[in-house]
Amino acid sequence: MASTPSQTASSPAPAPNPVAIPAPPVPKSFAEYLRSFGPGIIIALTWLGAGDVVDMGVAGSNYGYSLMWVLVGALVFRFVFVSLIARYQLCNQHGESVLDGLTRLHRWYAPALFAAAVLMGHVYGSYMSVGVGETCRNVFGAGQVWQWSLACNAVALVFVLQPAYRRLERVFLFFLAVLSISFLGSAVWVGINPGGVLQGLFRVEMPGQHGRFDPMLVAIAMIGAVGGSLMNLVYPYFLDGKGWRGPQYLKVQRYDFLFAIGVMVLLNLAVWTLGAELLFPDKHIRTLDDLPQLLSNVLGPGGRLLFYAGIFSAVYTSIIGHAAGLAYLGSHAWIRSRTPAGQPVRTGYREHPMYRGIAVWCCVSPLVWTLPGMPDFVALTLVANSAQVILLPLLAGGIWWITASARFIGAAHRTRWWENLVMAFLFALAIYGAWKSAASIAQFIATH
């Protein structure tokens, strides 16, 4: 890969957004750490969207507990991958962002990530817009999907166009409470099989196809929804919004992200358990209402509404988080691509017109998929989450490079030998997953 001359450690570049947010105090006590948590919650609920609800429900309904090991692998991938991203953001010797580091590696990263932010903003938004519209239509029993989607996306757009980190954090904390009560409460209410969960988590197997979707497509979609790809790169923008800049925040960032991963584990397992207990082996998820309807049969109408409250929270936080995060990433990538190599970005990506343009694109363009005759929500979700896996080799390889090289991150914080082994394995897995993802999508499209 071509590279540009690196800046010296003695002359760090300014922060990527000149309108600096005041740095909060570094926490010292347990209570201060808890009060400091925030970026991890925002990114976790951004990740934990319709993809997780559908993928975990489909996996549980079609295969019981037998694919849970994929969830373990995906979360290990995400924890290592995103921890390295955060370490570069906070600790690199140039005082630059992750995007700047990738562009230092090769200048084409900036335009490629700009294009990816625009493209995936539409792809992600397609199933999220359908999901939030179907949720509201099913709960209230009135109106069309496109009408509800239009109304919900309009409110989300107003919120995203006026970015304020503290308000974002408060809203996501509220929805986290709703999600916890909904998903965990529903799972406990229905009943959990601890032995089945443990066996599924630690026994590696790939069952034969049972139901509408091939197990490989389900597994790859899970890696896309949980292991993530492009959306891993928006985490640094929420760290920056919190005011965490510099290695002094590395410890609180680790605890913050560890808490976020714990939240994802519990909520994902709760949905999976519902699919396994209510649907496996004779019933399958074909529409968004299948699982809530079964909860209504088992728990009464209150169970259905309880679960739909969680679905709405998961989807709506994803709409807001994706629109804001991809607008940050796309705007920053646009400015970076138009800044000469080796020079720091001096224009604020939050205030740039491109931020507003991408935010509008993410909330408005996907509404076309809510019109009658378009593909259903479940199919859109599985294909979209499989599609994002194709980006993993480009991102995993670039992040591994800039975090392993002292020339980029500095000798004090570069990856250790065991992290390099993990990243080598994950990079190989990313290449394999991208290939299988492309093949699975082609087969799915050919047969539907």
Cα→Cα distances 316→46, 247, 322, 363, 439, Å: 9, 33, 10, 11, 31
Q: Which CATH architecture has domain 35-447?
A: Up-down Bundle (1.20)
- Give the per-residue pLDDT at 15: 46
Residue-level pLDDT at 301:
82
pTM (predicted TM-score): 0.84
- Predicted confidence at residue 289, as pLDDT, reads 64
DSSP character at residue 375 = P
State residue 147's pLDDT score.
96
Question: What are the boundaries of each domain within the chain?
Answer: 35-447
Residue 164, C-beta contacts closer than 8 angstroms, at least 6 positions apart: none
- Please give the helix or strand (H or E) that residue 236 lies within, else none: helix 235-242
How far apart (Å, rounded) are the C-alpha atoms in residues 70 and 76? Answer: 10
229 three-state secondary structure: coil
Per-residue model confidence as pLDDT tens for the chain (448 residues): 444 433 333 334 444 454 556 789 999 999 999 999 999 999 999 988 766 777 677 777 777 777 788 777 777 778 888 999 999 999 999 889 999 999 999 999 999 999 999 988 998 898 889 889 988 998 998 999 999 999 999 999 998 998 789 999 999 999 999 999 998 988 888 887 787 777 777 776 666 655 555 666 666 655 654 455 788 899 999 999 999 999 999 999 999 999 998 898 888 888 888 877 776 666 666 666 666 766 666 677 888 888 889 989 999 999 999 999 999 999 999 999 998 766 778 778 888 999 999 999 999 999 998 888 776 666 666 666 666 667 778 888 899 999 999 999 999 999 998 889 878 877 776 777 677 666 666 666 666 6
User: Cβ–Cβ contacts within 10 Å for residue 424, how many?
Assistant: 12
Of the candidates 11, 49, 60, 21, the one whose C-alpha atom is nearest the C-alpha of residue 342 is: 11
Cα–chain center distance at 10: 35
